[in-house]
Chains A and B, each alone.
Chain A
Amino acid sequence: MTNPSREKSWPLWEVFSQGKDGAPHEHAGSVHATDAEHALQNARDVYARRNEGVSLWVVPSAAITASTPEDMGPFFDPANDKAYRHPQFYKVPKGVKVF
């Protein structure tokens, strides 16, 4: 009998699911699987048992590069002082009800 503790762990894959046609793919969770095809089948069984998705993506977790919480401030702050990117920044003359 194989010693289970010596068994090789299957690689981890992140699953992204598209809820309906035209919607963006969103992170659903992760699965372990030996290869991409296997990951897709597991993702369907784990994250789409009730038609939650019309399309699934699986991505090796190790292939994802993410921003870190530490540089959250400096990384995003170039957006902080650009209120003029939002429509509320601009005044519309009185009398214009619908713009």
Chain B
Amino acid sequence: MTTMSPVADDSARLAQFEARVAADESIEPKDWMPERYRSQLIRMMSQHAHSEVVGMLPEGNWITRAPSLRRKMILLAKVQDEGGHGLYIYCGTETLGVDRQELVQQLLDGKAKYSSIFNYPTLSWADMGAIGWLVDGAAIVNQTMLAKASYGPYARAMVRICKEENFHKRQGYEIMATLARGTPAQKAMAQESLNRWWWPSLMMFGPHDKDSSNSDELMKWGIKRKSNDELRQRFVNLTIAQVKAIDLTVPDPALRYDEATGNWITGPIDWDEFWRVVKGNGPCNRERIEARRRAHEDGAWVRAAAIAHAEKQQRNNRETTERQQ
């Protein structure tokens, strides 16, 4: 009897897998996939889920100080959405055979990465505007691309998230526009906030293509469809018009419009700052993880009570059935 060697078998499967990705077919949880595709997805999706969860903290900081009931309700709904987005993506990641609890533990242990943007502090109310407009705006550009990712559960989570994030961006821009046409002090607050968030927002797309170690592989397998620099350029082009419309400026004296390509070209990005924050030395890295740990520990009794309640219900149901028999 002849059997195919596991190696030959795997290389045939790999060829078939790559042909499916090339044909824009959707890869589903039970399909065969290269181990590297699986591990890259687990890494990327769990980082994405962590980012949604940690992303609740900078905005949660302003819920009690929102300037009106309307703004407070909006901010609460937005922060709740971010928690929901974390859950969509954790559940998508679990389809790859990893346990959510394990992923959460990695975050709490400080072993997992999440978007560096959330390691910056929220110092003024205008930051709620800047985050919704710029941070969610940048996330939408990235996630619209990921909604076409080759892994079905990831793509479907992104479709849902993109629909919801449009409200996040609109409400942020509305905050900025309102401040920008307010008193000189309010306008200055909006400008100061934009000055702080502009460059970190551009850094959200990751290093330049030539310095991005994961990009080639992610693009080869259809997880990413556009490069970091392409996405960043798209975000800049979209945003500059919005900045001008509310009569603010971006903190970039080198910004220029390139007639030939129709692109807004920015000055150099401070990658030293980017790597400093990625490596854990941003303004709030330690504070964010501390807050997550505290919240997780404070919720321990709720999780224990839920399990105890379910067990008691089961016991009661069993006893009722037994009595009826």
Interface residues of A, Cβ cutoff 8 Å to B: 1-2, 4-5, 7-10, 12, 29-32, 34-35, 38, 45-46, 49-50, 66, 68-69
A68 to B101, alpha carbons, bound, how many Å? 27
A46 to B309, alpha carbons, bound, how many Å? 21
Q: Beyond A1-B300, A12-B94, A66-B30, is A32–B100 a contact (Cβ under 8 Å)?
A: yes
A3 to B32, alpha carbons, bound, how many Å? 35
Interface residue tally for chain B (C-beta within 8 Å): 34
Which residues of chain B have C-beta atoms less than 8 A from A31's C-beta? 87, 91
A49 to B80, alpha carbons, bound, how many Å? 9
| Inter-chain contact A35/B313, CB cutoff 8 Å | yes
From B92, B160, B309, contact of A34 by CB (8 A): B309
Which residues of chain B have C-beta atoms less than 8 A from A5's C-beta? 101, 105
Which residues of chain A have C-beta atoms less than 8 A from B304's C-beta? 2, 7
> Which residue from chain A places its CB closest to the CB of B304 in the assembled complex?
A2
> Which residue from chain A places its CB closest to the CB of B84 in the assembled complex?
A46
Q: Beyond A29-B88, A46-B87, is A1–B310 a contact (Cβ under 8 Å)?
A: no
Which residues of chain B have C-beta atoms less than 8 A from A46's C-beta? 84, 87-88
A87 to B97, alpha carbons, bound, how many Å? 43
Which residues of chain A have C-beta atoms less than 8 A from B181's C-beta? none
Overall SS of chain A's interface: loop
From A2, A38, A68, contact of B30 by CB (8 A): A68
| Inter-chain contact A4/B91, CB cutoff 8 Å | no
Which residues of chain B have C-beta atoms less than 8 A from A2's C-beta? 297, 300, 304
Q: Beyond A35-B313, A38-B306, A69-B30, is A30–B94 a contact (Cβ under 8 Å)?
A: yes
| Inter-chain contact A69/B31, CB cutoff 8 Å | yes
Q: Beyond A8-B307, A49-B84, is A69–B101 a contact (Cβ under 8 Å)?
A: no
Which residues of chain B have C-beta atoms less than 8 A from A30's C-beta? 91, 94
**Highest count of chain B CB atoms <10 Å: which of A5, A29, A66:** A29
A29 to B160, alpha carbons, bound, how many Å? 11
| Inter-chain contact B310/A38, CB cutoff 8 Å | yes
A12 to B88, alpha carbons, bound, how many Å? 13
| Inter-chain contact B101/A7, CB cutoff 8 Å | yes
30 CB contacts below 8 A, A to B, read A1-B297, A1-B300, A4-B101, A4-B104, A4-B296, A4-B297, A5-B101, A7-B300, A7-B304, A9-B99, A10-B303, A10-B306, A29-B88, A29-B91, A30-B94, A34-B310, A35-B309, A35-B310, A35-B313, A35-B314, A38-B306, A38-B310, A46-B88, A49-B77, A49-B80, A49-B81, A66-B30, A69-B28, A69-B30, A69-B31
> Which residue from chain B places its CB closest to the CB of A50 in the assembled complex?
B164
| Smallest CB separation, B106 vs chain A (Å) | 11
Query: In this assembly, does B157 line the interface, its C-beta being within 8 Å of a C-beta of chain A?
Result: yes
